[in-house]
Amino acid sequence: MRPGLSTHVFLQQRLHPGLLDALHRSGAKTIEIFAARHHFDYTDRAAVRDIAAWFCANEVAATLHQPIYTSDRSDAQWSRHVAPNLNLIDPEKSRRIDAMDEVKRALESAEQLPIQSIALHLGHKDDSWNVRALENSLTAIEHLKAFAHPLGVRILLENLQNEITTPEHLLEIVRVGHFDNVGICLDIGHAHLSAPENNIGIDHAFELLKPRIAELHLHDNHGAKDDHLWPGAGSIDWTNIARHIATLPAKIPGIVEISYELNETADSAAAKATATFDQQLRLTEQLGA
């Protein structure tokens, strides 16, 4: 697994090369840029150029997380307690179009940035699976795939806390749509929440999605809510995760995606990330012993 970090840990701050330096110092070989305009303004070509220059000067791969909030939210309103409000499969067509347009604006940053893939969310928390959800998912993926492909960006579908993105339904979406090049971003924390007892949800997700997994999101929780804790701070069995990871291609990025803290500094985040990568390496070495 290729160690990686998401800039989500600095979500309340404007992304700049100094923060990227900190993530790189931790040992990250891939950095996921979290697309939120107050954090990474993908509509500001000068700002994108600064970030692109950093990636060009460093041997670090880039991935993108789609925007999940509308662009008109003011900085003062940003909080971990605010639910995402941008929905690619919203029942209302105008909202679906607005969501796709915003994702395309973020994707345009790949004209300057060496972005390899984008993680997409289909629906919101607790959304139900039905024919309309399937049809809207197919439309959104087809539309964004056509836009992303010329930019060299691969579409990845992330498992969420809803019926639409269960392992079974994700596989149905890619099968019905004949999306041979669409991959899966397996979010370990979300999989754990689906069936936290004995990490059953994680085992089930790996079993079904393994051939499609192109990226991992790594974070912890206690099985009750989506805390996005540092690995080891919750109830996920990370030795079990290491066993699963050992069966995947080594090039797959494992993105540590942590909830931001107001007192988190670049140095403290880098130190925690280094400890996380070291722990993952120890677990891997123990399995190979």
Neighbours of 99 (CB within 10 A): 23
Burial class (CB in 10 A: 0-12, 13-18, 19+), 207: exposed
Backbone angles phi, psi at 233, to 5 degrees: -90, -5
The answer to whether the CB of 204 falls within 8 A of the CB of 240 is no
Query: What pLDDT sits at residue 176?
Result: 98
Residue 146 neighbours by CB under 8 Å, 6+ apart: none
- Say which CATH number the domain at 29 has: 3.20.20.150
pLDDT per residue, tens digit, the chain (289 aa), is: 999 999 999 998 999 999 999 999 999 999 999 999 999 999 999 999 999 999 999 999 999 999 998 865 444 344 555 667 899 999 999 999 999 999 999 999 999 999 999 999 999 999 999 999 999 999 999 999 999 999 999 999 999 999 999 999 999 999 999 999 999 999 999 999 999 998 999 999 999 999 999 999 999 999 999 999 999 999 999 999 999 999 999 999 999 999 988 788 999 999 999 999 999 999 988 887 5
Q: Whole-angstrom Cα distance, residue 209 to residue 189? A: 15
Query: What pLDDT sits at residue 289?
Result: 53
The answer to whether the CB of 144 falls within 8 A of the CB of 100 is yes
Backbone angles phi, psi at 112, to 5 degrees: -115, -35
The one-letter amino acid code at 224 reads: A
∠ CA 165-166-167 to the nearest 5 degrees?
110
Question: Which tokens belong to 192?
Answer: 């754990």
Whether the model clears a pTM of 0.75, i.e. scores above it, the answer is: yes
Query: What pLDDT sits at residue 262?
Result: 79
Q: What is the 3-state secondary structure of 157-205? A: EECCCCCCCCHHHHHHHHHHCCCCCCEEEEEHHHHHHHCCHHHHHHHHH
Backbone angles phi, psi at 116, to 5 degrees: -90, -35
Neighbours of 84 (CB within 10 A): 14
Domain limits for position 61: 2-288
Query: What pLDDT sits at residue 263?
Result: 80
Q: How many domains does the chain have?
A: 1
- Per DSSP, the three-state class of 118 is strand
